[in-house]
Structure 1
């Protein structure tokens, strides 16, 4: 079974794990052909003069239906991996039911892990094809507002953590600045799994310096690819090598200097993968080695490779928000040591990290079975409860 199809079935089963809470996301959504694809939709074109706006500024907004609910879509000014101005699109859903007191805001990052505009949540939430809609629905069921940002940026830079962290933070900035949402004083939670944890973890790391004004109450990240070099070595030559090759492709979109390592086969691979979504990447190029597509026998250890991977390795900066990390001991895609290492590094720098090792799952299964604990952790942070079991 394809990885994404399997994950979709597991996510749909999440309702049984949380007492049916995901019913907040109705099944009825727009037909895919009723929503204009992003590359043809003028809303995605950067607003004139966006470069002069401050990060987080809302440049455009429109009413849409997302995950079967009324929503706002925002075009927001952000920064790419090299701090150059870009725009991203965020989808903000505020549940129609009243909330006692100030409604919290959850920034949810699905595992986009893709190279095409049509794979982003601003599109898939509208067409009913977002496989993680039931997971973000767990937040909606609690009455939380939820913002979902196309965090890979305008170049669909899968794997580029700094781009992703900036986009998440600016998506939050945009959401709390919209007057009609009533979120100006909201406590903020950040959550993602796998590729979504990459974006969430980088948002946590970059927030103290990039967006210090944000009131982030807590971060939950599962199956976190904190060390891309380790993930690449694990996937290389294995059944899901296409995901690793896709991430290399995505990194090249933010760091074109990596292109110097490609051979003719590598250039052909880039063209073939140009707009693949995660399902295609997961099932394409199985059991292939990165060295088949490069001029180097050890591309990760070339100076340019080491530099880019070091820039995109978590752990150098300490999040000020408390963090809940959960990881399968037997994760076949993102080794458990990636999560444990970043835990130790963040703890040493003063971050309050709660770390859960799961012994009963693998990567995809924990995306669902680990979700209730992640929601419970964020709920406790919104209520201001004491943190227990953290470093």
Structure 2
């Protein structure tokens, strides 16, 4: 996410030519012609999906709803709801923002659930099944939006909130008065954390019991400064985030106008790719390999895009309890930014429970923190007073 952003932080004011993903062949995902007349969170269509062997005794419902992109324009977004047979009317609903490291429409959660590609299948199936067995329904939004705008965290927050609105409005889900909570890690944590901070203004009518966020990249500016121009083993993901941000901010983040031949080739290779292909394509590369000029660093418009998607620099304050976990030695994210956000939330009176999970690797920290996060979420669903260790 970071190094590729450096490529465009000096992007000129020329007209960018983003490369968007191939349209999903399923017409269900298409935006209706009267989309602009719909309200955020309004249900556009629902469809019961085929049963999933990995989630036995569970109904799968795909919802298309109206949301809003980062420019304030209407978009059609989707969320998949898993409803266990044991779910009681108005029982708990968890909006779980899954990690989606991809630029293609086939990388979305709603597609990955049915993929036969082992690289795309949902790795948290065991965890999600445990929650389903507890009677919780689970909403899995495609929080990168219809153009797979990887890296656009504010967009993810808005789609998450509108997805919750939509879940409440589908009678068959029996969730109109459910206690609802949110959770997510890494990229999914970005969407979750932004949803929590944006809710008071974007969706003030929503009553959310709490949000559990882990391993959240809270300051993309600091991340790109840390990577600088050096080769990076995960540079493919960094490049993917730059492409995703250009899709969401085409005139303000014009990476396509600032790539050399190698950069253009890499962009074409990963424009419809998911995690593994993206990682392989960019492994060991750097900004120097793909940028057409090093004089591009410093453009105010491009930098503003990165800042707008950095939670540390966002002035919104959640009005719900927060559980936050991360490794203090995470090699991918600036942990000082997490501590600063926690400090600001505590000063504002947010009931925040922070937990350190000591792991030298980003993804393993997710596993270590999940048990405490789920215990915390269960308490929010019961209505217990939220703890704090501010």
Question: Aligning the two structures, in what range does the TM-score lie when normalised by the shorter sequence?
Answer: 0.7 to 0.9
The residue aligned with 1:304 is 301
The residue aligned with 1:11 is none
Is the contact between residue 88 and residue 154 of structure 1 (CA under 8 Å) also seen in structure 2? yes
How far 1:234 moved relative to its partner?
4.2
Q: Distance in 1 between matches of 2:293 and 2:167?
A: 45
Task: Sort the Cα spacing of 1:372 and 1:351 in 2 relative to 1 into closer, same or farther, 3 A.
Answer: same
How far 1:247 moved relative to its partner?
0.8
Higher relative contact order by CA 8 Å / sep ≥ 6: 1 or 2? Answer: 2
More displaced, 103-112 or 129-138? Answer: 129-138
For residues 1-391 of structure 1, the aligned pairs below 5 Å read: 39-64=24-49, 65-66=51-52, 67-68=54-55, 69-99=58-88, 102-127=90-115, 129-234=121-226, 237-257=231-251, 258-259=253-254, 262-265=258-261, 266-297=263-294, 299=296, 301-315=298-312, 316-391=315-390
Q: Deviations over 1:75-131 (max 9, x none)?
A: 1100011111001111011110154x7411100011002100000001111236222
Q: Deviations over 1:199-242 (max 9, x none)?
A: 11111111111111111111001100111122334456221111
How far 1:38 moved relative to its partner?
7.1
Is the contact between residue 204 and residue 319 of structure 1 (CA under 8 Å) also seen in structure 2? yes
Structure 2 residue matching 1:94: 3-state secondary structure: strand
Q: Distance in 1 between matches of 2:87 and 2:101?
A: 34
Is the contact between residue 266 and residue 281 of structure 2 (CA under 8 Å) also seen in structure 1? no
Q: Deviations over 1:12-62 (max 9, x none)?
A: xxxxxxxxxxxxxxxxxxxxxxxxx97111111112312210010110111
How far 1:309 moved relative to its partner?
1.1
Is the contact between residue 219 and residue 334 of structure 2 (CA under 8 Å) also seen in structure 1? no
Task: Sort the Cα spacing of 1:153 and 1:143 in 2 relative to 1 into closer, same or farther, 3 A.
Answer: same
Structure 1 residue matching 2:24: 3-state secondary structure: helix
Provide the aligned length of Structure 1 versus Structure 2: 354
Structure 1 residue matching 2:245: 3-state secondary structure: helix
Structure 1 residue matching 2:168: 3-state secondary structure: helix
Q: Distance in 2 between matches of 1:105 and 1:157?
A: 26
Q: Distance in 2 between matches of 1:344 and 1:124?
A: 37
Is the contact between residue 90 and residue 176 of structure 2 (CA under 8 Å) also seen in structure 1? no
Q: Distance in 2 between matches of 1:329 and 1:107?
A: 26
More displaced, 348-357 or 194-203? Answer: 348-357
Task: Sort the Cα spacing of 1:303 and 1:267 in 2 relative to 1 into closer, same or farther, 3 A.
Answer: farther
Structure 2 residue matching 1:103: 3-state secondary structure: coil
Q: What is the RMSD of the two structures over their aligned residues, measured on CA atoms?
A: 2.0
More displaced, 120-129 or 143-152? Answer: 120-129
Is the contact between residue 38 and residue 118 of structure 1 (CA under 8 Å) also seen in structure 2? no
Q: Distance in 1 between matches of 2:352 and 2:239?
A: 31
Q: Distance in 2 between matches of 1:317 and 1:254?
A: 21
Q: Distance in 2 between matches of 1:345 and 1:206?
A: 15
Q: State the TM-score, normalized to the length of structure 1.
A: 0.85
Q: Which runs of 5+ in 2 are unaligned?
A: 1-21
